[in-house]
Structure 1
Amino acid sequence: MNLTPQVIEEFICFQRNEITESIVYERLASIEKDESNRHVLKQISQEEKAHYSVLKRYTGRDVAPDRKRIAKYYWLARILGITFAIKLMEAGEDNAHKNYAQYSDCPDLLRLSQEEEVHEERLIGLINEERLEYMGSVVLGLNDALVEFTGALAGFTLALSDPKLIALTGSITGIAAALSMASSEYLSTKSEGGEGKHPVKASIYTGIAYLITVVALVSPFILLQNSLVALAVMLAVALLIIALFNYYYSVARGESFRKRFTEMAVLSFSVAGISFLIGYALKAFTGIDA
Protein backbone atom coordinates (compact mmCIF):
# COMPACT_ATOMS: atom_id res chain seq x y z
CA MET A 1 0.00 0.00 0.00
CA ASN A 2 0.96 3.62 -0.53
CA LEU A 3 0.90 4.92 3.04
CA THR A 4 0.56 8.64 2.46
CA PRO A 5 0.31 10.96 5.50
CA GLN A 6 -3.45 11.15 4.87
CA VAL A 7 -3.81 7.35 4.92
CA ILE A 8 -1.71 7.12 8.09
CA GLU A 9 -3.97 9.67 9.82
CA GLU A 10 -7.05 7.71 8.75
CA PHE A 11 -5.52 4.49 10.08
CA ILE A 12 -4.83 6.24 13.39
CA CYS A 13 -8.55 7.14 13.58
CA PHE A 14 -9.37 3.47 12.91
CA GLN A 15 -6.95 2.49 15.70
CA ARG A 16 -8.58 4.84 18.18
CA ASN A 17 -12.00 3.48 17.26
CA GLU A 18 -10.87 -0.14 17.69
CA ILE A 19 -9.22 0.32 21.10
CA THR A 20 -12.18 2.44 22.27
CA GLU A 21 -14.72 -0.19 21.26
CA SER A 22 -12.58 -2.94 22.76
CA ILE A 23 -12.77 -1.22 26.14
CA VAL A 24 -16.49 -0.48 25.71
CA TYR A 25 -17.29 -4.14 25.03
CA GLU A 26 -15.14 -5.15 28.00
CA ARG A 27 -17.03 -2.73 30.27
CA LEU A 28 -20.39 -3.95 28.94
CA ALA A 29 -19.32 -7.53 29.61
CA SER A 30 -18.60 -6.57 33.23
CA ILE A 31 -22.22 -5.49 33.80
CA GLU A 32 -23.91 -8.23 31.72
CA LYS A 33 -25.50 -10.89 33.93
CA ASP A 34 -26.14 -13.52 31.26
CA GLU A 35 -23.09 -15.80 31.01
CA SER A 36 -23.35 -16.50 27.24
CA ASN A 37 -23.86 -12.82 26.46
CA ARG A 38 -20.88 -11.92 28.63
CA HIS A 39 -18.69 -14.49 26.85
CA VAL A 40 -19.55 -13.08 23.40
CA LEU A 41 -18.89 -9.50 24.54
CA LYS A 42 -15.49 -10.46 25.95
CA GLN A 43 -14.59 -12.29 22.75
CA ILE A 44 -15.55 -9.29 20.60
CA SER A 45 -13.51 -7.06 22.92
CA GLN A 46 -10.46 -9.24 22.31
CA GLU A 47 -11.03 -9.19 18.54
CA GLU A 48 -11.27 -5.39 18.53
CA LYS A 49 -7.98 -5.27 20.42
CA ALA A 50 -6.47 -7.58 17.79
CA HIS A 51 -7.70 -5.20 15.07
CA TYR A 52 -5.93 -2.37 16.90
CA SER A 53 -2.68 -4.38 16.79
CA VAL A 54 -3.05 -5.01 13.05
CA LEU A 55 -3.46 -1.29 12.39
CA LYS A 56 -0.53 -0.47 14.67
CA ARG A 57 1.75 -2.45 12.34
CA TYR A 58 0.95 0.08 9.62
CA THR A 59 1.06 3.28 11.70
CA GLY A 60 3.81 2.31 14.14
CA ARG A 61 2.06 4.32 16.85
CA ASP A 62 0.21 3.74 20.10
CA VAL A 63 -3.14 5.52 20.15
CA ALA A 64 -5.13 6.47 23.27
CA PRO A 65 -8.82 5.47 23.45
CA ASP A 66 -11.68 7.96 23.42
CA ARG A 67 -12.50 8.09 27.13
CA LYS A 68 -15.62 10.20 26.63
CA ARG A 69 -17.05 7.65 24.20
CA ILE A 70 -16.29 4.81 26.62
CA ALA A 71 -18.09 6.65 29.43
CA LYS A 72 -21.01 7.46 27.10
CA TYR A 73 -21.76 3.87 26.15
CA TYR A 74 -21.10 2.52 29.63
CA TRP A 75 -23.63 4.86 31.23
CA LEU A 76 -26.11 4.42 28.40
CA ALA A 77 -25.98 0.69 29.15
CA ARG A 78 -26.40 1.36 32.86
CA ILE A 79 -29.36 3.71 32.44
CA LEU A 80 -31.14 2.56 29.27
CA GLY A 81 -29.97 -1.06 29.08
CA ILE A 82 -27.18 -2.93 27.37
CA THR A 83 -29.32 -3.54 24.27
CA PHE A 84 -29.65 0.18 23.56
CA ALA A 85 -25.91 0.74 24.00
CA ILE A 86 -25.00 -2.20 21.79
CA LYS A 87 -27.41 -1.17 19.02
CA LEU A 88 -25.76 2.26 18.92
CA MET A 89 -22.40 0.50 18.76
CA GLU A 90 -23.70 -1.51 15.78
CA ALA A 91 -23.90 1.69 13.75
CA GLY A 92 -20.22 2.21 14.44
CA GLU A 93 -19.47 -1.39 13.47
CA ASP A 94 -21.27 -0.84 10.17
CA ASN A 95 -19.23 2.32 9.50
CA ALA A 96 -15.99 0.49 10.33
CA HIS A 97 -16.94 -2.29 7.92
CA LYS A 98 -17.47 0.22 5.10
CA ASN A 99 -14.32 2.20 5.93
CA TYR A 100 -12.09 -0.87 5.84
CA ALA A 101 -13.69 -2.14 2.62
CA GLN A 102 -12.44 0.99 0.82
CA TYR A 103 -8.87 -0.34 1.04
CA SER A 104 -9.35 -3.25 -1.33
CA ASP A 105 -5.60 -3.41 -2.05
CA CYS A 106 -4.84 -4.31 1.58
CA PRO A 107 -5.66 -7.95 2.56
CA ASP A 108 -5.43 -7.14 6.29
CA LEU A 109 -8.10 -4.44 6.07
CA LEU A 110 -10.36 -6.59 3.94
CA ARG A 111 -10.17 -9.24 6.67
CA LEU A 112 -10.99 -6.61 9.31
CA SER A 113 -13.94 -5.50 7.19
CA GLN A 114 -15.33 -9.04 7.12
CA GLU A 115 -14.85 -9.47 10.88
CA GLU A 116 -16.61 -6.18 11.65
CA GLU A 117 -19.58 -7.37 9.56
CA VAL A 118 -19.68 -10.62 11.54
CA HIS A 119 -19.71 -8.61 14.79
CA GLU A 120 -23.03 -7.03 13.85
CA GLU A 121 -24.64 -10.39 13.07
CA ARG A 122 -23.49 -11.85 16.38
CA LEU A 123 -24.68 -8.85 18.35
CA ILE A 124 -28.18 -8.93 16.84
CA GLY A 125 -28.87 -12.33 18.44
CA LEU A 126 -27.02 -11.51 21.62
CA ILE A 127 -29.38 -9.78 23.98
CA ASN A 128 -32.19 -11.12 26.11
CA GLU A 129 -33.11 -8.21 28.36
CA GLU A 130 -36.13 -8.05 30.66
CA ARG A 131 -36.96 -4.45 29.84
CA LEU A 132 -37.28 -5.39 26.16
CA GLU A 133 -39.36 -8.47 26.93
CA TYR A 134 -41.86 -6.12 28.56
CA MET A 135 -41.56 -3.39 25.92
CA GLY A 136 -45.03 -4.27 24.66
CA SER A 137 -46.46 -3.48 28.10
CA VAL A 138 -44.59 -0.16 28.21
CA VAL A 139 -45.84 0.71 24.70
CA LEU A 140 -49.40 -0.07 25.80
CA GLY A 141 -49.22 2.17 28.87
CA LEU A 142 -47.37 5.00 27.16
CA ASN A 143 -49.41 5.01 23.97
CA ASP A 144 -52.74 4.77 25.79
CA ALA A 145 -51.78 7.57 28.19
CA LEU A 146 -50.62 9.85 25.39
CA VAL A 147 -53.66 9.28 23.19
CA GLU A 148 -56.31 9.34 25.92
CA PHE A 149 -54.72 11.89 28.24
CA THR A 150 -53.72 14.54 25.73
CA GLY A 151 -57.30 14.33 24.52
CA ALA A 152 -58.76 14.50 28.03
CA LEU A 153 -56.63 17.47 29.09
CA ALA A 154 -57.38 19.30 25.85
CA GLY A 155 -61.09 18.78 26.46
CA PHE A 156 -60.80 19.85 30.12
CA THR A 157 -58.94 23.02 29.09
CA LEU A 158 -61.94 24.63 27.42
CA ALA A 159 -64.57 22.92 29.53
CA LEU A 160 -63.04 23.96 32.88
CA SER A 161 -60.69 26.91 32.09
CA ASP A 162 -59.01 26.97 35.55
CA PRO A 163 -55.57 25.28 35.21
CA LYS A 164 -55.57 24.06 38.83
CA LEU A 165 -59.00 22.50 38.41
CA ILE A 166 -57.83 20.94 35.12
CA ALA A 167 -54.77 19.53 36.92
CA LEU A 168 -56.89 18.09 39.74
CA THR A 169 -59.47 16.57 37.40
CA GLY A 170 -56.75 15.27 35.10
CA SER A 171 -54.78 13.71 37.97
CA ILE A 172 -57.80 11.84 39.31
CA THR A 173 -58.71 10.67 35.80
CA GLY A 174 -55.11 9.69 35.05
CA ILE A 175 -54.52 7.70 38.23
CA ALA A 176 -57.80 5.84 37.77
CA ALA A 177 -56.94 5.12 34.14
CA ALA A 178 -53.44 3.90 35.08
CA LEU A 179 -54.87 1.43 37.61
CA SER A 180 -57.44 0.31 35.06
CA MET A 181 -54.79 -0.20 32.36
CA ALA A 182 -52.51 -2.11 34.76
CA SER A 183 -55.39 -4.38 35.74
CA SER A 184 -56.33 -4.98 32.11
CA GLU A 185 -52.74 -5.84 31.20
CA TYR A 186 -52.54 -8.28 34.12
CA LEU A 187 -55.70 -10.08 33.03
CA SER A 188 -54.70 -10.00 29.35
CA THR A 189 -51.21 -11.40 29.99
CA LYS A 190 -52.55 -14.06 32.32
CA SER A 191 -55.26 -15.19 29.90
CA GLU A 192 -52.70 -15.48 27.09
CA GLY A 193 -50.49 -17.71 29.19
CA GLY A 194 -47.92 -14.97 29.66
CA GLU A 195 -45.96 -15.68 26.45
CA GLY A 196 -42.79 -15.58 28.56
CA LYS A 197 -44.00 -12.56 30.54
CA HIS A 198 -45.08 -12.52 34.18
CA PRO A 199 -48.58 -10.99 34.49
CA VAL A 200 -47.72 -8.94 37.60
CA LYS A 201 -44.55 -7.52 36.03
CA ALA A 202 -46.41 -6.75 32.80
CA SER A 203 -49.09 -4.86 34.71
CA ILE A 204 -46.45 -2.92 36.69
CA TYR A 205 -44.61 -1.86 33.53
CA THR A 206 -47.91 -0.72 31.97
CA GLY A 207 -49.07 1.14 35.08
CA ILE A 208 -45.76 2.90 35.69
CA ALA A 209 -45.47 3.98 32.04
CA TYR A 210 -49.01 5.39 32.23
CA LEU A 211 -48.40 7.20 35.56
CA ILE A 212 -45.12 8.77 34.44
CA THR A 213 -46.86 10.10 31.33
CA VAL A 214 -49.75 11.45 33.42
CA VAL A 215 -47.37 13.32 35.77
CA ALA A 216 -45.45 14.82 32.83
CA LEU A 217 -48.63 15.98 31.06
CA VAL A 218 -50.38 17.38 34.16
CA SER A 219 -47.34 19.33 35.39
CA PRO A 220 -47.80 22.36 33.05
CA PHE A 221 -51.29 22.94 34.47
CA ILE A 222 -49.88 22.92 38.01
CA LEU A 223 -46.96 25.24 37.23
CA LEU A 224 -48.61 27.74 34.85
CA GLN A 225 -51.47 30.17 35.43
CA ASN A 226 -52.81 30.43 31.88
CA SER A 227 -54.68 27.30 30.83
CA LEU A 228 -54.11 27.80 27.08
CA VAL A 229 -50.37 28.30 27.61
CA ALA A 230 -50.35 25.21 29.84
CA LEU A 231 -52.14 23.29 27.08
CA ALA A 232 -49.51 24.34 24.53
CA VAL A 233 -46.68 23.29 26.88
CA MET A 234 -48.47 19.99 27.59
CA LEU A 235 -48.65 19.23 23.88
CA ALA A 236 -44.95 20.08 23.52
CA VAL A 237 -44.15 17.73 26.43
CA ALA A 238 -46.26 15.00 24.78
CA LEU A 239 -44.34 15.47 21.52
CA LEU A 240 -41.03 15.25 23.43
CA ILE A 241 -42.11 12.04 25.18
CA ILE A 242 -43.15 10.53 21.85
CA ALA A 243 -39.81 11.50 20.28
CA LEU A 244 -37.65 10.21 23.15
CA PHE A 245 -39.50 6.94 23.55
CA ASN A 246 -39.62 6.19 19.84
CA TYR A 247 -35.92 6.99 19.48
CA TYR A 248 -35.16 4.49 22.24
CA TYR A 249 -37.54 1.91 20.77
CA SER A 250 -36.28 2.33 17.20
CA VAL A 251 -32.65 1.88 18.30
CA ALA A 252 -33.33 -1.07 20.63
CA ARG A 253 -35.64 -2.84 18.17
CA GLY A 254 -33.99 -1.75 14.94
CA GLU A 255 -37.21 -0.23 13.57
CA SER A 256 -37.92 3.01 11.70
CA PHE A 257 -37.99 6.03 14.03
CA ARG A 258 -39.78 8.30 11.55
CA LYS A 259 -42.64 5.86 10.91
CA ARG A 260 -43.33 5.14 14.60
CA PHE A 261 -42.92 8.77 15.66
CA THR A 262 -45.23 10.10 12.94
CA GLU A 263 -47.88 7.48 13.62
CA MET A 264 -47.91 8.09 17.38
CA ALA A 265 -47.75 11.90 17.10
CA VAL A 266 -50.55 12.14 14.53
CA LEU A 267 -52.79 9.84 16.57
CA SER A 268 -52.22 11.67 19.87
CA PHE A 269 -52.59 15.17 18.44
CA SER A 270 -55.66 14.24 16.37
CA VAL A 271 -57.42 12.97 19.49
CA ALA A 272 -56.32 16.10 21.40
CA GLY A 273 -57.69 18.36 18.65
CA ILE A 274 -61.03 16.55 18.49
CA SER A 275 -61.35 16.58 22.30
CA PHE A 276 -60.55 20.30 22.38
CA LEU A 277 -63.38 20.99 19.93
CA ILE A 278 -65.76 18.73 21.88
CA GLY A 279 -64.92 20.62 25.08
CA TYR A 280 -65.60 23.92 23.33
CA ALA A 281 -68.90 22.64 21.89
CA LEU A 282 -70.11 21.27 25.23
CA LYS A 283 -69.21 24.48 26.99
CA ALA A 284 -71.14 26.54 24.44
CA PHE A 285 -74.09 24.12 24.43
CA THR A 286 -74.47 23.83 28.21
CA GLY A 287 -73.59 27.43 28.98
CA ILE A 288 -71.51 26.27 31.95
CA ASP A 289 -68.50 28.49 32.62
CA ALA A 290 -66.34 26.70 35.21
Structure 2
Amino acid sequence: MNIDQQTYDALLRFQRNEITESIVYTKLAAVEKNPANRDVLLRISADEKGHYAVLKKYTGQDVAPFKWKILKYYLLARILGITFAIKLMEGSEEESRDGYAAYKDYPELLQIAKDEDEHEEKLIALINEERLEYMGSVVLGLNDALVEFTGALAGFTLALSDSKLIALTGSITGIAAALSMASSEYLSTKSEGGDGKRPVKASIYTGIAYIFTVIALVAPFIFISNVLVALGVMLVSALLIIALFNYYYSVARSESFRKRFTEMAVLSFSVAALSFLIGYALKVFTGIEA
Protein backbone atom coordinates (compact mmCIF):
# COMPACT_ATOMS: atom_id res chain seq x y z
CA MET A 1 0.00 0.00 0.00
CA ASN A 2 1.12 3.55 -0.71
CA ILE A 3 1.58 4.97 2.81
CA ASP A 4 3.82 7.90 3.73
CA GLN A 5 6.62 7.28 6.24
CA GLN A 6 4.97 9.17 9.11
CA THR A 7 1.74 7.17 8.81
CA TYR A 8 3.71 3.94 8.42
CA ASP A 9 5.63 4.60 11.65
CA ALA A 10 2.39 5.42 13.47
CA LEU A 11 0.76 2.19 12.25
CA LEU A 12 3.76 0.17 13.38
CA ARG A 13 3.45 1.76 16.83
CA PHE A 14 -0.27 0.99 16.94
CA GLN A 15 0.44 -2.57 15.82
CA ARG A 16 2.99 -3.09 18.58
CA ASN A 17 0.59 -1.71 21.17
CA GLU A 18 -2.18 -4.03 19.98
CA ILE A 19 -0.15 -7.23 20.31
CA THR A 20 1.18 -6.03 23.67
CA GLU A 21 -2.29 -5.34 25.02
CA SER A 22 -3.60 -8.64 23.66
CA ILE A 23 -0.97 -10.51 25.69
CA VAL A 24 -1.60 -8.33 28.76
CA TYR A 25 -5.35 -9.03 28.72
CA THR A 26 -4.66 -12.76 28.34
CA LYS A 27 -2.38 -12.67 31.38
CA LEU A 28 -4.90 -10.63 33.38
CA ALA A 29 -7.57 -13.20 32.48
CA ALA A 30 -5.29 -15.92 33.86
CA VAL A 31 -5.28 -14.30 37.33
CA GLU A 32 -8.97 -13.29 37.31
CA LYS A 33 -11.09 -15.59 39.48
CA ASN A 34 -14.50 -14.44 38.27
CA PRO A 35 -15.44 -16.53 35.18
CA ALA A 36 -17.58 -13.74 33.63
CA ASN A 37 -14.80 -11.18 34.03
CA ARG A 38 -12.29 -13.69 32.65
CA ASP A 39 -14.40 -14.18 29.53
CA VAL A 40 -14.60 -10.40 28.97
CA LEU A 41 -10.82 -10.07 29.25
CA LEU A 42 -10.26 -12.96 26.83
CA ARG A 43 -12.70 -11.46 24.30
CA ILE A 44 -10.93 -8.11 24.48
CA SER A 45 -7.60 -9.92 24.05
CA ALA A 46 -8.95 -11.61 20.90
CA ASP A 47 -10.17 -8.24 19.58
CA GLU A 48 -6.75 -6.69 20.13
CA LYS A 49 -5.15 -9.57 18.25
CA GLY A 50 -7.62 -8.98 15.42
CA HIS A 51 -6.61 -5.31 15.35
CA TYR A 52 -3.00 -6.43 15.09
CA ALA A 53 -3.89 -8.49 12.00
CA VAL A 54 -5.67 -5.51 10.39
CA LEU A 55 -2.66 -3.26 10.97
CA LYS A 56 -0.33 -5.91 9.59
CA LYS A 57 -2.13 -5.63 6.23
CA TYR A 58 -0.99 -2.00 6.08
CA THR A 59 2.56 -2.46 7.41
CA GLY A 60 3.29 -5.85 5.87
CA GLN A 61 5.35 -7.08 8.80
CA ASP A 62 5.19 -8.61 12.27
CA VAL A 63 6.34 -6.67 15.32
CA ALA A 64 7.39 -7.76 18.82
CA PRO A 65 5.37 -6.69 21.89
CA PHE A 66 6.60 -4.34 24.61
CA LYS A 67 7.85 -6.97 27.07
CA TRP A 68 8.36 -4.45 29.88
CA LYS A 69 4.74 -3.32 29.54
CA ILE A 70 3.47 -6.89 29.78
CA LEU A 71 5.57 -7.49 32.90
CA LYS A 72 4.48 -4.16 34.40
CA TYR A 73 0.74 -4.82 34.16
CA TYR A 74 1.07 -8.44 35.23
CA LEU A 75 3.01 -7.51 38.38
CA LEU A 76 0.59 -4.67 39.15
CA ALA A 77 -2.34 -7.09 38.88
CA ARG A 78 -0.65 -9.60 41.18
CA ILE A 79 0.50 -7.07 43.78
CA LEU A 80 -2.11 -4.30 43.75
CA GLY A 81 -5.06 -6.15 42.24
CA ILE A 82 -6.51 -6.58 38.79
CA THR A 83 -8.72 -3.49 39.20
CA PHE A 84 -5.70 -1.21 39.56
CA ALA A 85 -4.06 -2.76 36.47
CA ILE A 86 -7.27 -2.48 34.46
CA LYS A 87 -7.75 1.17 35.42
CA LEU A 88 -4.28 1.95 34.10
CA MET A 89 -5.11 0.01 30.94
CA GLU A 90 -8.16 2.25 30.48
CA GLY A 91 -5.84 5.18 29.88
CA SER A 92 -4.07 3.19 27.18
CA GLU A 93 -7.42 2.36 25.54
CA GLU A 94 -8.33 6.07 25.47
CA GLU A 95 -4.99 6.99 23.88
CA SER A 96 -5.39 4.25 21.25
CA ARG A 97 -8.93 5.38 20.42
CA ASP A 98 -7.86 8.99 19.95
CA GLY A 99 -4.85 7.93 17.89
CA TYR A 100 -6.90 5.82 15.49
CA ALA A 101 -9.63 8.46 15.20
CA ALA A 102 -7.10 10.83 13.63
CA TYR A 103 -6.85 8.63 10.51
CA LYS A 104 -10.24 9.35 8.96
CA ASP A 105 -9.14 8.13 5.51
CA TYR A 106 -8.75 4.58 6.83
CA PRO A 107 -12.21 3.07 7.60
CA GLU A 108 -10.72 -0.01 9.27
CA LEU A 109 -8.80 2.19 11.71
CA LEU A 110 -11.98 4.10 12.59
CA GLN A 111 -13.64 0.75 13.36
CA ILE A 112 -10.71 -0.12 15.62
CA ALA A 113 -11.19 3.24 17.39
CA LYS A 114 -14.83 2.28 17.98
CA ASP A 115 -13.73 -1.11 19.34
CA GLU A 116 -11.32 0.57 21.76
CA ASP A 117 -14.16 2.74 23.05
CA GLU A 118 -16.27 -0.38 23.64
CA HIS A 119 -13.32 -2.05 25.40
CA GLU A 120 -13.13 0.82 27.85
CA GLU A 121 -16.84 0.48 28.66
CA LYS A 122 -16.48 -3.29 29.17
CA LEU A 123 -13.47 -2.83 31.42
CA ILE A 124 -15.32 -0.32 33.59
CA ALA A 125 -18.33 -2.65 33.81
CA LEU A 126 -16.39 -5.70 34.96
CA ILE A 127 -14.47 -4.01 37.76
CA ASN A 128 -15.60 -5.66 40.99
CA GLU A 129 -12.84 -6.70 43.35
CA GLU A 130 -13.02 -7.64 47.02
CA ARG A 131 -10.19 -5.37 48.10
CA LEU A 132 -12.07 -2.37 46.68
CA GLU A 133 -15.26 -3.38 48.48
CA TYR A 134 -13.30 -3.04 51.71
CA MET A 135 -11.45 0.11 50.63
CA GLY A 136 -13.49 2.13 53.13
CA SER A 137 -12.14 -0.03 55.96
CA VAL A 138 -8.57 0.42 54.70
CA VAL A 139 -9.10 4.19 54.45
CA LEU A 140 -10.40 4.24 58.01
CA GLY A 141 -7.40 2.37 59.41
CA LEU A 142 -4.83 4.24 57.35
CA ASN A 143 -6.28 7.69 57.83
CA ASP A 144 -6.85 7.25 61.55
CA ALA A 145 -3.32 5.90 62.07
CA LEU A 146 -1.75 8.74 60.10
CA VAL A 147 -3.71 11.50 61.80
CA GLU A 148 -3.55 10.13 65.35
CA PHE A 149 -0.10 8.57 65.22
CA THR A 150 1.85 11.37 63.55
CA GLY A 151 0.35 13.59 66.25
CA ALA A 152 1.13 11.17 69.07
CA LEU A 153 4.75 10.59 67.98
CA ALA A 154 5.30 14.32 67.50
CA GLY A 155 4.01 14.93 71.02
CA PHE A 156 6.14 12.11 72.46
CA THR A 157 9.25 13.53 70.74
CA LEU A 158 9.45 16.60 72.95
CA ALA A 159 7.69 15.16 75.98
CA LEU A 160 10.04 12.15 76.25
CA SER A 161 13.21 13.16 74.31
CA ASP A 162 14.45 9.56 74.04
CA SER A 163 14.10 7.74 70.73
CA LYS A 164 13.90 4.21 72.20
CA LEU A 165 11.34 5.29 74.80
CA ILE A 166 9.32 7.05 72.10
CA ALA A 167 9.43 3.89 69.94
CA LEU A 168 8.32 1.72 72.88
CA THR A 169 5.54 4.07 73.96
CA GLY A 170 4.44 4.57 70.37
CA SER A 171 4.36 0.83 69.65
CA ILE A 172 2.21 0.08 72.70
CA THR A 173 -0.11 2.98 71.88
CA GLY A 174 -0.29 1.98 68.21
CA ILE A 175 -1.10 -1.69 68.82
CA ALA A 176 -3.78 -0.79 71.35
CA ALA A 177 -5.25 1.77 68.92
CA ALA A 178 -5.19 -0.75 66.05
CA LEU A 179 -7.12 -3.30 68.10
CA SER A 180 -9.56 -0.61 69.17
CA MET A 181 -10.12 0.56 65.59
CA ALA A 182 -10.56 -3.01 64.33
CA SER A 183 -13.15 -3.67 67.06
CA SER A 184 -14.99 -0.44 66.23
CA GLU A 185 -15.06 -1.29 62.52
CA TYR A 186 -16.41 -4.76 63.32
CA LEU A 187 -19.26 -3.33 65.39
CA SER A 188 -19.94 -0.56 62.85
CA THR A 189 -20.07 -2.92 59.87
CA LYS A 190 -22.20 -5.42 61.76
CA SER A 191 -24.71 -2.74 62.80
CA GLU A 192 -24.98 -1.35 59.26
CA GLY A 193 -25.60 -4.73 57.56
CA GLY A 194 -26.90 -5.24 54.04
CA ASP A 195 -23.92 -3.61 52.28
CA GLY A 196 -22.30 -6.93 51.41
CA LYS A 197 -19.28 -6.46 53.67
CA ARG A 198 -18.39 -9.05 56.27
CA PRO A 199 -17.73 -7.53 59.72
CA VAL A 200 -14.74 -9.76 60.47
CA LYS A 201 -13.05 -9.02 57.12
CA ALA A 202 -13.76 -5.30 57.47
CA SER A 203 -12.16 -5.25 60.93
CA ILE A 204 -9.11 -7.19 59.64
CA TYR A 205 -8.58 -4.74 56.76
CA THR A 206 -8.82 -1.81 59.19
CA GLY A 207 -6.51 -3.38 61.76
CA ILE A 208 -3.86 -4.43 59.22
CA ALA A 209 -3.84 -0.97 57.60
CA TYR A 210 -3.41 0.61 61.03
CA ILE A 211 -0.63 -1.79 62.13
CA PHE A 212 1.41 -1.36 58.92
CA THR A 213 1.17 2.42 59.26
CA VAL A 214 2.28 2.24 62.91
CA ILE A 215 5.30 0.09 61.98
CA ALA A 216 6.36 2.51 59.23
CA LEU A 217 6.04 5.55 61.52
CA VAL A 218 7.72 4.02 64.59
CA ALA A 219 10.67 2.55 62.64
CA PRO A 220 12.69 5.84 62.44
CA PHE A 221 12.73 6.12 66.27
CA ILE A 222 14.08 2.55 66.53
CA PHE A 223 17.00 3.11 64.15
CA ILE A 224 17.78 6.82 64.69
CA SER A 225 18.90 8.06 68.11
CA ASN A 226 18.47 11.79 67.40
CA VAL A 227 14.78 12.36 68.14
CA LEU A 228 14.40 15.43 65.91
CA VAL A 229 15.99 13.65 62.95
CA ALA A 230 13.79 10.62 63.64
CA LEU A 231 10.74 12.91 63.76
CA GLY A 232 11.70 14.41 60.40
CA VAL A 233 12.11 10.95 58.82
CA MET A 234 8.80 9.87 60.35
CA LEU A 235 7.00 12.84 58.78
CA VAL A 236 8.58 12.09 55.38
CA SER A 237 7.46 8.46 55.75
CA ALA A 238 3.94 9.65 56.55
CA LEU A 239 3.96 11.83 53.44
CA LEU A 240 5.12 8.91 51.27
CA ILE A 241 2.41 6.63 52.69
CA ILE A 242 -0.21 9.30 51.98
CA ALA A 243 1.10 9.79 48.43
CA LEU A 244 1.33 6.06 47.57
CA PHE A 245 -2.05 5.17 49.02
CA ASN A 246 -3.83 8.09 47.41
CA TYR A 247 -2.24 7.32 44.05
CA TYR A 248 -3.58 3.76 44.31
CA TYR A 249 -6.98 4.99 45.49
CA SER A 250 -7.28 7.71 42.84
CA VAL A 251 -6.48 5.23 40.03
CA ALA A 252 -8.72 2.45 41.37
CA ARG A 253 -11.63 4.78 42.11
CA SER A 254 -11.08 7.34 39.32
CA GLU A 255 -10.92 10.20 41.81
CA SER A 256 -8.69 13.27 42.07
CA PHE A 257 -5.25 12.42 43.48
CA ARG A 258 -4.38 16.01 44.28
CA LYS A 259 -7.55 16.68 46.30
CA ARG A 260 -7.33 13.52 48.42
CA PHE A 261 -3.57 13.83 48.94
CA THR A 262 -3.82 17.47 50.00
CA GLU A 263 -6.67 16.83 52.42
CA MET A 264 -4.96 13.90 54.14
CA ALA A 265 -1.51 15.55 54.24
CA VAL A 266 -2.80 18.85 55.65
CA LEU A 267 -4.88 17.06 58.28
CA SER A 268 -2.08 14.73 59.39
CA PHE A 269 0.61 17.40 59.52
CA SER A 270 -1.65 19.92 61.26
CA VAL A 271 -2.38 17.41 64.03
CA ALA A 272 1.36 16.56 64.25
CA ALA A 273 2.32 20.24 64.58
CA LEU A 274 -0.34 20.86 67.24
CA SER A 275 0.69 17.74 69.19
CA PHE A 276 4.36 18.77 68.97
CA LEU A 277 3.50 22.13 70.54
CA ILE A 278 1.36 20.49 73.20
CA GLY A 279 4.20 18.12 74.08
CA TYR A 280 6.59 21.04 74.36
CA ALA A 281 4.14 23.03 76.52
CA LEU A 282 3.55 20.10 78.88
CA LYS A 283 7.28 19.59 79.24
CA VAL A 284 7.86 23.25 80.07
CA PHE A 285 4.94 23.69 82.47
CA THR A 286 5.32 20.38 84.31
CA GLY A 287 9.12 20.52 84.44
CA ILE A 288 9.26 16.75 83.85
CA GLU A 289 12.36 15.54 82.01
CA ALA A 290 12.37 12.02 80.56
**C-alpha offsets along residues 112-141 of structure 1, whole Å, 9 cap, x if unaligned?**
111111111111111211111100000000
Amino acid corresponding to residue 84 of structure 1 in structure 2:
F
- Asked if 1:79 corresponds to 2:79, the answer is yes
Give the whole-Å Cα distance in 2 for the aligned partners of 1:58 and 1:30: 31
Match of 2:259 in 1: 259
Give the whole-Å Cα distance in 1 for the aligned partners of 2:242 and 2:173: 21
Matching of residues 94-133 of structure 1 within 5 Å:
94-133=94-133
**Number of aligned pairs?**
290
For 1:150, what is the secondary structure of its paired residue? Answer: helix
**C-alpha offsets along residues 216-269 of structure 1, whole Å, 9 cap, x if unaligned?**
000000000100000000000000000000000111111111111011000000
Amino acid corresponding to residue 283 of structure 1 in structure 2:
K
Match of 2:22 in 1: 22
Q: CA deviation at 1:105?
A: 1.6
Spell out structure 1 runs of 4+ moving beyond 2 A. Answer: none
Q: CA deviation at 1:67?
A: 1.1
**C-alpha offsets along residues 174-203 of structure 1, whole Å, 9 cap, x if unaligned?**
000000000000000000015100000000
Match of 1:285 in 2: 285
**C-alpha offsets along residues 128-187 of structure 1, whole Å, 9 cap, x if unaligned?**
111111000000000000000000000000000001000000000000000000000000
Matching of residues 2-151 of structure 1 within 5 Å:
3-151=3-151
Match of 1:238 in 2: 238
Moved more, 191-200 or 145-154: 191-200
C-alpha RMSD over aligned residues:
0.9
Match of 1:195 in 2: 195
Task: Give the TM-score normalised by structure 2.
Answer: 0.99
For 1:125, what is the secondary structure of its paired residue? Answer: helix
Task: Give the TM-score normalised by structure 1.
Answer: 0.99
Q: CA deviation at 1:5?
A: 1.2
Identity of aligned residues (%): 75
For 1:149, what is the secondary structure of its paired residue? Answer: helix
Amino acid corresponding to residue 123 of structure 2 in structure 1:
L
The 1:233/1:194 distance shift into structure 2, 3 A limit, reads farther
Q: CA deviation at 1:280?
A: 0.7
Matching of residues 165-184 of structure 1 within 5 Å:
165-184=165-184
The 1:160/1:279 distance shift into structure 2, 3 A limit, reads same
Matching of residues 147-166 of structure 1 within 5 Å:
147-166=147-166
- Asked if 1:275 corresponds to 2:279, the answer is no
For 1:137, what is the secondary structure of its paired residue? Answer: helix
Give the whole-Å Cα distance in 2 for the aligned partners of 1:279 and 1:93: 52
Give the whole-Å Cα distance in 2 for the aligned partners of 1:257 and 1:122: 24
For 1:196, what is the secondary structure of its paired residue? Answer: coil
For 1:195, what is the secondary structure of its paired residue? Answer: coil
Amino acid corresponding to residue 131 of structure 2 in structure 1:
R
For 2:195, what is the secondary structure of its paired residue? Answer: helix
Amino acid corresponding to residue 13 of structure 2 in structure 1:
C
Structure 2 gap segments, 5+ residues each: none
**C-alpha offsets along residues 47-78 of structure 1, whole Å, 9 cap, x if unaligned?**
00011111111100101111111111011101
**C-alpha offsets along residues 78-109 of structure 1, whole Å, 9 cap, x if unaligned?**
11100000101111001001101111121111
Amino acid corresponding to residue 202 of structure 1 in structure 2:
A
Structure 1 gap segments, 5+ residues each: none
Amino acid corresponding to residue 287 of structure 2 in structure 1:
G
